[in-house]
Amino acid sequence: MIKPKYHVFICNGGKIAGDRKGVCHARRSLEIIEKFISEIDERELSADVMVNAASCFGICAKGPVVAVYPEGVWYGNLTPDDVEAIAEEHLEGGKPVERLLI
Ligand code: FES
């Protein structure tokens, strides 16, 4: 089994019991997922970083929400334009992006 260095969970707004178009989805989470995938590909980080869409984290007011493990770093109020900084500074550089933390 491959164990990634970083596991990135991106809320896609779904609720386990129903609504597939919650707050994060309405705030462009699909574009954020696509941007993470393309940043990881371009930086050749796919051996170290796994990306998964996730259901609601329960803090919708701060959405779109992204959680990065193993550190348990949570980002919020993201836009697709924020993903490049997370990829460069955190996933590549090892330092969370302070201004985007929640
Ligand atoms: S829909 Fe993303 S945190 Fe609730």
Give the chain's domain count: 1
Summarize the confidence of residues 35-58 as an average pLDDT: 96
3-class SS of residue 17: coil
Q: Is residue 31 over pLDDT 70?
A: yes
Distance 14 CA to ligand 1 centre (A): 7
**CATH code of 76's domain:** 3.40.30.10
Percent of the chain with pLDDT over 90: 85
Residue type, 12: N
What letter does residue 41 receive in the DSSP assignment?
Answer: H
Question: Is the residue at 15 inside a domain?
Answer: yes
DSSP 46: T
pTM of the model: 0.93
Residue 22: what pLDDT? 84
In a domain, 1, yes or no: no
Name the residue of 20, 62, 65, 78 whose CB sits within 8 Å of the most ligand 1 atoms, as the mutation to test its pocket: 65
Residue of 71 and 17 predicted with greater confidence: 71
Domain enclosing residue 28, as ranges: 6-100
**48 within domain boundaries:** yes
